[in-house]
Structure 1
Amino acid sequence: MQTKRSEQISIIDLRTSDAAEALRLSRQEAWPHRLEDWQLLLELSHGVGAVHDGQLVGTAMLTPYGDDAATCNMIIVDPSMRGLGLGRQLVEALLAQAGSRECRLIATQSGLPLYEKLGFVATGSITQCQGIVSAVPPSPLVQEASQADLDDILALDFAAHGMDRQGLLKHLINEKPFLILRDENGLRGFASCRAFGRGQIAGPVVARDKETARLLLCAALARHEGQFLRVDLTDAAAPFVSLVETAGLTQVGGGVAMTRAGTHQLAATGDAAVYTLASQALC
């Protein structure tokens, strides 16, 4: 029975017109993504889907960052189709698309065994916090970025990631101005805030030091007083869990950061660190 059913599954390339069906699958998992969030992912990524009896029953996305890196994300299998190896088939399709790129993802506990079998190694943890923001004092040193700041933002992001994320960051800064902090030595850090899921998300936050990251995070919280805000904190931001909890956010889970090495050596310099993610899909 399983063999017969698996033979009836087709793997297709996803298109932007598949966003509504993909949204149905993510809602089954109680994931918060809106139609607009799926549309952005489909614009930035290459997606594959599984189709059975004319219905989308699985998704997986590969978001490339230059020629050297990518994230694997939105790996979903309809509950009625589990146990057929479909998740592995979808991820292997992504890895074939990735080629020699290093691949990163944020894994759920249920997904860990599959990703480990496919060569992914845990590199850290993500703490997801969300809620209605209470009063937070603003950070007077933090300003809004302009397009003139974009080159410095891209350089700082590359220093932290080693990934060429300019396509993503250009989209985000056009959607809503970033928050930045500068001193006499140049750009110290930046933060992006935008609509996502149930409200807003603060990320990425990238900074050269923890104090800059703290000031940027406080500024992001202050700008969303009375609103629903989500942050996905990396291990570097562990000292800030109590800060966001004091601001009204609650820990609601997280994930495991994982990497599958590629043939390219990523060129992160260590001059900066990532404190919150753009999202668990985009990392």
Structure 2
Amino acid sequence: MTDTLTFDRFTAEHLEGALRLSRQAGWPHRAEDWQMLLRLSRGVVALAEGQVVGTALATPFGGVAMANMIIVDAAMRGRGLGRSLMERAMALEVPEWRLTATADGLPLYEKLGFVACGRVLQHQGLVAAQNAPDGVEWAVQADLPAMVALDRQATGADRAGLIAELMAEGQMAVIRDGAALAGFAALRTFGRGAVAGPVIAASAGDAQRLLTFVFAQRPGGFLRVDTTEAAGLAPWLAAQGLAPAGGGIAMRRGGAAAPQTPFQCFALAAQALG
């Protein structure tokens, strides 16, 4: 492959090349998963002889943006391409940037001003058959604004577009407190099976109830949950048969103090999306 590189805006025509790179990296993303990310994001690709050799996306959530899907072809590494992609993708003025880093990417992100702020823990496996708990039900369309509001409280980001996308692409389980919502969890097809997240709740007990409801819908099915070390759900997830499968390092650049709210994000929508 030549050293002549060009950069271009990431569009649908680059999805096949991006999928090749994520498979090369051992990531489970399907073409449909890339398509969803691209609908929510803006990005850049690096091209060599017309072939995609690098990708980077930036997903804006109001005053917060996620840098994600930063991949460089194995044959092109060690040339500063990852930094070039990041700098181009991050040409977006927001107060706070977030990402989930691999150990390999950590040095680059630190040079770009990101600071580690926690651990992301990936759990996955085949779901054992179990009964759905009382007090949890599927959401209806009218619940969307309340779910967006809870998510904003828990994450400090305006992810209205993401929550609407997840509701359109999958299903949302909710806990009600009278006329109000007290938590929700998303379930959607992803990778090798399905992913549960985000899970937004005011307590670990409510988060477990939401996830148990989701588990009850998929007996024997492959399910992935990305949680955080701080959330404290990892031992419980392992006890449900979802074994640890790696993870990453949560990082931030800029931003304000964490919001003061009883609600917490117990599971991520995806490592790429927080």
Unaligned runs of 5+ in 1: none
Distance 1:124 1:241 in 2: 14
What corresponds to 2:83 in structure 1? 88
Structure 1 residues 267 and 55 mapped into 2: Cα distance closer, same or farther (>3 Å)?
Answer: same
What corresponds to 2:264 in structure 1? 273
Deviations 1:170-198 (A, max 9, x none): 11112223100012372110000000000
Shift of 1:223: 1.5
Bigger helix fraction: 1
Letter matched to residue 77 of structure 1: V
Out of 236, 243, 251, the position equivalent to 1:250 is 243
* Higher mean C-alpha displacement, 177-186 vs 106-115: 177-186
Shift of 1:225: 1.2
TM-score relative to the length of structure 1: 0.92
The alignment partner of 1:32 has SS state of coil
Shift of 1:266: 7.4
Deviations 1:28-54 (A, max 9, x none): 001000000011111110010001121
Distance 1:61 1:49 in 2: 9
The alignment partner of 2:231 has SS state of helix
Matched, 1:70 2:65: yes
What corresponds to 1:165 in structure 2? 159
Letter matched to residue 94 of structure 1: A
Structure 1 residues 266 and 63 mapped into 2: Cα distance closer, same or farther (>3 Å)?
Answer: farther
Shift of 1:236: 3.7
Distance 1:42 1:185 in 2: 35
Letter matched to residue 250 of structure 1: A
Out of 160, 176, 181, the position equivalent to 2:175 is 181
The alignment partner of 2:215 has SS state of helix
TM-score relative to the length of structure 2: 0.95
Structure 1 residues 159 and 14 mapped into 2: Cα distance closer, same or farther (>3 Å)?
Answer: same
Q: Is the 8 A contact 1:163 1:266 kept in 2?
A: no
Deviations 1:210-239 (A, max 9, x none): 21111111111221111000000113432x
Shift of 1:100: 2.9
Distance 1:164 1:273 in 2: 15
Unaligned runs of 5+ in 2: none
What corresponds to 2:101 in structure 1? 107
Shift of 1:267: 7.6
Shift of 1:242: 2.6
Out of 120, 124, 141, the position equivalent to 1:126 is 120
The CA RMSD over aligned residues, in Å, is 1.7
State the aligned residue count.
Answer: 274
The alignment partner of 1:171 has SS state of helix
The alignment partner of 1:192 has SS state of strand
Structure 1 residues 266 and 94 mapped into 2: Cα distance closer, same or farther (>3 Å)?
Answer: farther
